[in-house]
Every structure is written in structure tokens, then in C-alpha cells.
């Protein structure tokens, strides 16, 4: 069965995480994705380990798990774009593609004749998505941008961590992942525009812009009030009680989202009077009197074990949950039912695990048929298939180190 983006061809000149995250999603949706890599080394994340994949004999393949987290469904073409012949190959391929995505520094591809204006002349319908740290314009445009520094500069770290502790980044490179998701959305919007108008366009996407945009309610809280939010640990700035609590034998999260749920919580805890206390009877008052309510809830939560609370709260519709480690996540019956872990065939490892796309299409289901490629695995077949490159030309380019 064909995917939703079947017939769309993507030339992927990106590496690390934000760009590859976008192109992996496009591949999941059925697009043909051609991953361009450097001969000899490939995408930087191929070596970002351990852990590395194991081959059939249990030895390290040298292929990092990190690389496989964001490159399934693609074919790899190893081309040296610093050489004129390599640049000519990319220009020819761009003429055959619908989308190009890159995350070089601003102006980094212009010296190779692979910038948007140059490739627009080759293919006016091309959608050219550029991902940088700070965008194509502005005083920081020349700076390199990395997820960690963007989380700091974009405000996320200022609202993450314990109130009296050090500002913290998230445990996942969230600015990169969110930028990849925005890029995938933007590309599909541009494809729809092209379908109506016939026009391609450039997409200018910056990690810092994405981080500021995804401050969500925290950003709007500041803009509406002028008050700079601080770190609240696991607590929520707008809802109380909504945080992690210690129980008699561990920790769980309690996420009371409205007044009715708070009444139910108080009944389960045997403290009905708290729900009628004017200080706590509405979320507005609970937020205002957070410093009085949270210690009371914390004391109540420690009177019973985690399972006791989870069973009773869940049965009454009070949002709560365990704080799972990753082994517990992938052993969870709901996660297993949704098949969030899949196995893909791989030429060296036999099979490799992958984390499924969370989107479930009824008419165009995602095909998990292709693992992340080995470096240059499809170079010869792609150049023959798309550019009708003769065998003697292939051998000549390979001897010159243009392709691998």
C-alpha cells in the first residue's frame, strides 16, 4: 500500500538530528528520501556511541544507535560535494527532486553552487528547506547553533529544574526534535501550495525561533503578565496540584486538572474538607495558595504506596501515572499494544529495533520496511536509477573519491 507522500522525492543534505528527524518522518509518510553523506565518514551521528549496533556475531558494527534513531526509511548516497563533479551530481539530482533539506551554516552551500537561488534555476518547483541555529537573517545569522545552547538562549532551561537548583536542559534534544517536526509540517504545507500554484519556495527555519515558539503557555504567561516565570521543578505554573509526589514506597505524578478532579482526590485521601476550604476550592485559589496546599498533599501521598494511589485515583478518573524508566516504558502493556517498538531488517545486524512513528493512518499506514542505511549503501543504484549514470562513469567517480 502506498504512503500518503508516495511520489514525493526528497534530497536530504542534513545531518545530526533536526533535519534527519524531518526527513525520517517524510519517509515514514511514504516519500522517497535520498540521504547525502560524506564519503569515508558519513553523518556525524554514525559514530556517536556507544551504544553501537551488534552484528550477527555480537560484535560492534560501529553504527551508533543514535544514527538509527532518526534515519530509517532512507537510501544513502555518499558524494563529496567539495568536488566539482560531486556538485554537478547534486544539481542533477535536485532537478529530479521535489524537496531539498539542508542544515549547513548560512551561505555554506553557496560556495558549492548548491544554494537556493542556484538550484531554483535548475528546478523552479523545488521546495528548499534550510535549518540553521538562528535563521537566514538577523545579527546571529552567522553563528552555529546547537540544541543545548538553544535550550538555554531560548528560555527553556530557565523554567526547567528545581526552584533552588541549577537550570536544566531536557533529557532529549527537544529543540532539534521540535524543529524537525516544524520542518516536516512546513514542507507539506509548501507542497500543497506548489500543487495549487506550481511554485517552489525556500523555507527558513531556525532552532531559536522554534524554541521561543514552543515556550507555549510559559511564554504567553510572561507576555500577558510581564512576570518572568521561574523554575518549579515538577510543578505546573498554572495548575495545582500538578506535579510529582513521594509515596510510601516511591514516586508518582498527580495531575489534577480541574475542580471536580480535586474533589475526587480529596475524597480518596480521606480529606473532604480540603475541597471545601476557600483557599483550595478553585484552581485559581489553589495556584494562589500553592505554598499551603502542596505540603498537605505531599503528607497525604506518603501515607500509602504508589500502587494504592494509582489504582484508586485511576478508578475515579483522577489523572495520575507512574514515573517509568525506559525498560518499564517498553514493557508497558499499552506501549506494547500500540507496537511502539518495531524490528527492521539490516544487512549487517540482521535486525535492528526502531521506535515507531506515533501517527496511525487508516488509509495510508506507515511501512516499516527499511532500516537506516549503511553509508553509501545505495550510491550506485541511485545514480544509475535517477541519472542513468553508466558503469564506467561510476568507476571513474569512485576512483576520484567523488562517490563511495
User: Is 60 a residue whose pLDDT tops 90?
Assistant: no
Which residue would you say has higher pLDDT here, 54 or 380? 380
pLDDT over 90 at 286, yes or no: yes
Model pLDDT, residue 403:
96
pLDDT of residue 62: 87
pLDDT tops 90 at residue 58? no
C-alpha cell at 268: 480518596
**148-164 pLDDT per residue, tens:** 999 999 999 999 999 99
Residue 1 clears pLDDT 80, i.e. is over it: no
The whole-number pLDDT of residue 272 equals 96
Is the whole-model pTM more than 0.85? yes
Residues 139 and 281 both lie in one domain: no
Q: Which residues in 55-200 belong to E strands, given as ranges?
A: 60-64, 74-78, 99-102, 127-132
Give a yes or no: residue 286 inside a domain: yes
Last residue of a domain, one of 291, 323, 355: 323
State whether 153 and 262 are in the same domain.
Answer: no
**Parent domain of 306:** 240-323
Query: Span 93-104, mean pLDDT?
Result: 98
Task: Tell me which H or E stretch contains 11.
Answer: strand 9-13
Residue in 113, 108, 78, 44 with CA at minimum distance from that of residue 402? 78
- The reply to whether 19 and 76 lie within a common domain is yes
Instruction: Please compute the mean of the pLDDT values over residues 19-48 and round it to a whole number.
Output: 96
User: 285, 279 in Cβ contact below 8 A?
Assistant: yes
Is residue 227 included in any domain, yes or no?
A: no
Residue 229 included in any domain: no
- Assess if residue 328 is contained within a domain: no
374: DSSP letter: P
Domain count for the chain? 2
pLDDT band at 348 (very low <50, low <70, confident <90, very high): confident
Active site residue 176: yes
Catalytic hit among 80, 115, 176, 209:
176
Q: Tell me what pLDDT residue 55 has.
A: 84
Which of 289, 323, 357 corresponds to the end of one domain?
323
Mean pLDDT over residues 131-143, rounded?
A: 96
- Same structural domain for residues 306 and 367? no
Share of the chain residues as helix, strand and coil, in percent rounded to the nearest 5: 40, 15, 45
Final residue of a structural domain among 273, 299, 323 = 323
pLDDT given for residue 57 in this prediction: 84
Looking at the predicted structure, is the pLDDT value of residue 300 above 90? Answer: yes
Q: Could you tell me if residue 112 is inside a domain?
A: yes
Name the nearest CA neighbour of 322 among 310, 332, 334, 304: 310
What pLDDT, on a 0 to 100 scale, did the predictor assign at position 105? 94
Phi then psi for residue 89, to 5 deg, are -65, -45
Structure confidence at residue 56 (pLDDT)? 86
- Percent over 90 (pLDDT), the chain: 95
Does 106 lie in the same domain as 205?
yes
Is residue 201 included in any domain, yes or no?
yes
Domain containing residue 310: CATH number? 3.30.1540.10
Instruction: Give the chain's mean pLDDT.
Output: 96
Amino acid at each position: 500500500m502506498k504512503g500518503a507522500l508516495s511520489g514525493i522525492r526528497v534530497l536530504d543534505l542534513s545531518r545530526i538530528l533536526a533535519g534527519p528527524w524531518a526527513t525520517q518522518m517524510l519517509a515514514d509518510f511514504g516519500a522517497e528520501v535520498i540521504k547525502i553523506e560524506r564519503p569515508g565518514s558519513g553523518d556525524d551521528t554514525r559514530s556517536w556511541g556507544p551504544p553501537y549496533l551488534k552484528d550477527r556475531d555480537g560484535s560492534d558494527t560501529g553504527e551508533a544507535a543514535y544514527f538509527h534513531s532518526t534515519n530509517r526509511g532512507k537510501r544513502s548516497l555518499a558524494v563529496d560535494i567539495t568536488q566539482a563533479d560531486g556538485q554537478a551530481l547534486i544539481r542533477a539530482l535536485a532537478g529530479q527532486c521535489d524537496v531539498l533539506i539542508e542544515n549547513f551554516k548560512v551561505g555554506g552551500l553557496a560556495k558549492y553552487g548548491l544554494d537556493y537561488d542556484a538550484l531554483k534555476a535548475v528546478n523552479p518547483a523545488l521546495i528548499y528547506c534550510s535549518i540553521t541555529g538562528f535563521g537566514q537573517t538577523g545579527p546571529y545569522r552567522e553563528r552555529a547553533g546547537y540544541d543545548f545552547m538553544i535550550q538555554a538562549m531560548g528560555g527553556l532551561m530557565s523554567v526547567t529544574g528545581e526552584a533552588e537548583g541549577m537550570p536544566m536542559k531536557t533529557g532529549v534534544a527537544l529543540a532539534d526534535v521540535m524543529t524537525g517536526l516544524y520542518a516536516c509540517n512546513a514542507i507539506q504545507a509548501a507542497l500543497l501550495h506548489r500543487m495549487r500554484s506550481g511554485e517552489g519556495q525556500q523555507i527558513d527555519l531556525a532552532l531559536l525561533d522554534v524554541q521561543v515558539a514552543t515556550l507555549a503557555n510559559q511564554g504567553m504567561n510572561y507576555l500577558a503578565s510581564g512576570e518572568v516565570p521561574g523554575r518549579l521543578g515538577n510543578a505546573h505554573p498554572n495548575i495545582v496540584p500538578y506535579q510529582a509526589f513521594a509515596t510510601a514506597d516511591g514516586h508518582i505524578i498527580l495531575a489534577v486538572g480541574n475542580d471536580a478532579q480535586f474533589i475526587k482526590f480529596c475524597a480518596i485521601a480521606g480529606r473532604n474538607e480540603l475541597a471545601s476550604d476557600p483557599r483550595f476550592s478553585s484552581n485559581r485559589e489553589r495556584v494562589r495558595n500553592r505554598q499551603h496546599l502542596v505540603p498537605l498533599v505531599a503528607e497525604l501521598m506518603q501515607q500509602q504506596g504508589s500502587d494504592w494511589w494509582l489504582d484508586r485515583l485511576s478508578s475515579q478518573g483522577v489523572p495520575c501515572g507512574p514515573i517509568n524508566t525506559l525498560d518499564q516504558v517498553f514493557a508497558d502493556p499499552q506501549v506494547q499494544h500500540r507496537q511502539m517498538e518495531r524490528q527492521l531488517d539490516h544487512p549487517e545486524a540482521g535486525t535492528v529495533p526502531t521506535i515507531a512513528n506515533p501517527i496511525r493512518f487508516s488509509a495510508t499506514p506507515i511501512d516499516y520496511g527499511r532500516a537506516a542505511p549503511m553509508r553509501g549503501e545505495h550510491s550506485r543504484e541511485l545514480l544509475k536509477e535517477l541519472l542513468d549514470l553508466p558503469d564506467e562513469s561510476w568507476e571513474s567517480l569512485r576512483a576520484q573519491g567523488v562517490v563511495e
